[in-house]
Structures are given as C-alpha cells and as structure tokens.
Amino acid sequence: MSMVRAFALCVVALLAAANTGCAKLGYYTQAIGGQLEILSKRQPIETLLEDPKIDAQLRTQLAAVLAMRAFASNDLALPDNKSYRTYVDLKRQYAVWNVFAAPELSLTPLQWCFVVVGCLNYRGYFSPAGADKFAGKLREQGYDVYVGGVTAYSTLGWFRDPVLNTMLRNSQTDVAALIFHELAHQRVYVRDDTVFNESFAVTVEREGVKRWLARSGSQEQFQRYLVRKQRHEQFVDLVMRFRQRLIELYATTKSDAEKRDKKASLFYELRADYVRLKQSWNGYGGYDEWFARDLNNAHLVPLGLYHEYVPAFQALLVQHDDDLSAFYQAVEEIGKLPKAQRVARLQSLQPAKVGRLP
C-alpha cells in the first residue's frame, strides 16, 4: 500500500474517532502515529542484503526471513504479497504493548471497537507509557489488568507489514512462527471475534513451523521444537484448568468476599503446580516471567484468546487430510456463520473439554 493511501486511511480513522470523543481521538492519534513511523522506515530486505556494510548476523537473519516468506506462500498457501519482505529497526524491545482487562470476579474480557479491525479484547499502544497510563485508569475503576509487550502484529493486509527488529530477538524457529501466524490473519479474519482469529492463527503457526523444520531445519532444531511445544502445551493445559475452576467459582452463589478469598487461593495453587511442573522439566524456567507478574483474571485473558479453539482447528485440519487450502476454505465457511452457530461448530470439533469463555 502506498504512503498516500496509508495516509488517507489514517485521516478516515481520525475523522471517525473525532465523532466518538476526545479519549478515542487521542488513542487513534498515537496508533496512527506509531503505524506511520513503521511504514516510513521500511527498507526492502533484498536491498539490505546487497549492502556490504550490513551486520553479518542481521544479514543471516534476513536471508532466512526471505526463505521463510517464500515457504509461507509456496507451501502453506498463505498470502503472496509484499508483507514481511521489508525490514524496520524500531530500536525498542517491543512493537506494541497490549492492555487486557477483566472484571475482578469474571473472566469475560473488556472489549474495544475500532475502525477497520472491528472489536478486540485488548487495546494496543506504541509506547509502554501510553499502555501503563490506560492500564492505571482501568485499575482505578476496579478491573484486573495485564499489560504485555508484543513483538509483532498484523494490519490484516491493509499495509505491507515489515519484519521488525523486535521479531529477530527470537530464534529462527520463533521468527518463522511469527511470520506464519501474522500471515494467517491476512488469510482469514473474522470481525469482532478475537478468540476465533487467534486460535486459527496459532493452529497455522504450529503446522507451519512443523513443516518448515521438516523441510529446512536440522533434526536437532526439530527435536528442540518438539520439546518446547510439549512444554508449552503442558503450561497451557495447567493454566486453562485453573481458568475453568475460576469460571466455575465466579458462577456460584457465594458472596463476593468468599469469591475473592477462593480466587486468591486458586492463584496460589496455580503457582505451586507450576513449581511441580518445572521439576518435571528439569528446572526449565521458560515461564518464570509469566508467573512473576501479578496473577489476576486479565493475566489469563491472552492465553484463553490464543488457545481456546486450537484443538478444534487442529481437528478440522485433520478432517481435511492436512490440505491447508481446503482447511482455509472450511475455516472461512465457519467464519461466515452467525456468532452463536460459529461457536457451536467449533465446540463440536473440540476433541476435549477445556476452559471456555463465559
């Protein structure tokens, strides 16, 4: 997308925001400014690779990105466009900081609606200060709040999304996963359904990484990936079990005081169970940072959003004999259903019961 068209879209967004009040206008202003900064700094990866002065490590990383990008379109049937063919160094740790919030005694996340993308269960900021300020206001209103840094995001094909330096801090396997995940959002996206969109993208990401490593990775890389995947699934399973227990707690007729006490007890149990899980991993502490934060309802929201229907989508992929094109078509058909029917269809595909959004 040209900068002229990008600017035009931004003006439309600002005009729409102006009609909804100063608070939203301020939010759109920072969002548009952050996006335009990224667009203005893009450099074609092929051009960078021709520069003899480029850092050797960055050269290796960007060359691998181009191979991943070609694989995504040629082997995973993901969009063949100009996204992830340019590079931007933001000179910061994260691309955006997302704010999640939920009531003190509920796991139903707050939702915010925006121009173009529709309603989301989080609100993104291009600076940690902006995210923290908004999070503080939500805490003052009594909500549980969680702020998490994000290394990449998708504009759903509206812009030519670049590879960011924030993405390249990770391993090659993680970079491939991010590219596949974000391109999946460009392949299928349902307005106002974050759980559907993220669960679908995680499914494509996992399948893509498995195929990428089978094709281009070493056996050692593949084994490391399998170990990490198993540990992540055990971590998700642990948290989702407690999430379900919290859902059940909040649905009881207990007093708010009793619910608060039990809530604190459950989060204490969750931490204790994680310590035991780590022991089975020989002390691997990959999720220590997650548990080091103030655990609350909002802290569980991203995990629920990203994994709620992954088993259902994986089952759907198997039903289509691992044919990704046929799988995408089936996902698109489910996405066209009214929300209640869409949820019912996905739940019918779930091979096992997990904590569901209330």
> Which region among 152-166, 237-251, 344-358 has the lowest average model confidence (pLDDT)?
344-358
Looking at residue 354, its pLDDT comes to 43
Residue 171: its H or E element: none
pLDDT tens per residue, range 10-57: 433 443 443 444 457 788 889 889 999 999 999 999 999 999 999 999
Beta carbons within 10 angstroms of residue 274's beta carbon: 19
**Interatomic CA distance for residues 178 and 172, integer angstroms:** 10
Q: Minimal CA–CA distance to 159: which of 54, 31, 284?
A: 31
114 confidence band (pLDDT: 50, 70, 90): confident
Check residue 89 and give left, alpha or beta (phi > 0: left; psi -120 to 50: alpha). Answer: beta
152 confidence band (pLDDT: 50, 70, 90): confident
Q: Of the spans 122-126, 255-259, 299-303, 354-358, which averages the highest pLDDT?
A: 255-259
Predicted model pTM? 0.81
More confident residue, 221 or 142: 142
pLDDT tens per residue, range 298-342: 999 888 777 889 999 999 999 999 999 999 999 999 999 999 999
**Interatomic CA distance for residues 240 and 356, integer angstroms:** 9
**Interatomic CA distance for residues 99 and 112, integer angstroms:** 11
Q: Is the pLDDT of residue 97 over 50?
A: yes
Calculate the alpha carbon distances from 229 to 173, 209, 224, 236 in Å. 11, 11, 8, 10
Q: Specify the residue for token string 């691309």.
A: 95
Structure tokens that stand for 211 in this block? 């195929």
- Which residue stretches of the chain are H helix? 3-18, 22-40, 45-49, 56-76, 128-140, 172-187, 194-216, 219-250, 256-280, 288-292, 297-307, 310-319, 324-335, 339-349
Q: What are phi and psi of 96, to 5 degrees?
A: -145, 165
Looking at residue 116, its pLDDT comes to 64
In percent, the amount of the chain with pLDDT more than 90 equals 73
Q: Is the pLDDT of residue 8 over 80?
A: no
